Structure 1
Amino acid sequence: MLDERDRKILMALQEDAGLSVADLADRVALSLSACSRRIQKLEETGYIARRIAVLDREKIGVPTTVYALVKTVHHSDEWIELFRKAIADIAEIVEAHRLTGHYDYILKLVLPRVEHYDVIYKRLVKKVELFDVSASISMETLKSGLSVPVDYAE
């Protein structure tokens, strides 16, 4: 069961996972050892899945975002596993979701420029059969982040 201090720890670590335990302890009004124990418990119980660095996409050279909507006529476990492996091998595909509705999957790609989408598209269709793929280019990011609300955690 999480309390308010656990939630504050989670919110602070989502903003900056590189915070020292001392700085974090100060923010949530805990001793260094108590804060360290709470962080360890949050990791052990799976509330903290991992700690990562968020890179500047402009500096890394992949400022363009493309969303590809995918339809398939295949829905077997074998095909889904083949698709999963195909997208896992393409670093430019940074997210993939199975959907309800008109399309079966949505893929988020980060690319050096929009023309590079064709390279990735060809790599993907060589690995797995798709019925239809429709791509949209993100013109502007209005909201972006990896943080999730912690108010619902128990």
Structure 2
Amino acid sequence: MRRLTLPGAALAGALALAGCGGSDASKPDLSASSVYMPQPVSADMAAGFLTIVNKGGTKDELTSVTSDQAGRITLHSTSGGAMQEVTSFAVPAHGRLVFESGGNHLMFENLKHKPKQGDTLTLRLKFAGSGPLTVEMPVKPATYNPSTDH
């Protein structure tokens, strides 16, 4: 009888530990990739692009972006060729939020200095549910296209 009790206890302990690990998978798990800013033409305004990946099982929401190098960064959606400022973007569970040329993008306003190719800006992405995410945004050539340049 004792032999049956020990394996049963071990199984119960293993299941309890697995349950603890599973709860983390239900939280947002955010990271950023494909981060870049084309070298801007304007001295005080620029666009920025990136992809926010959520490997977690819960959605989140990007609510703001800040940088010491810009007075203000706004979130913009583009639909049917029309650009519109928005207050937030959803980051779906097990999904991604894509900012790309011709689509959703970040607008950098009141830049402290005109970014040049080779510079890097530090961004702080803020979310409704998760802690902030710090991202380095390299400045690429004005004609940079991530689908053809790697």
Normalising by structure 1, we get a TM-score of 0.28
* Bigger Rg, which one: 2
Q: Which has the higher strand share?
A: 2
Normalising by structure 2, we get a TM-score of 0.29
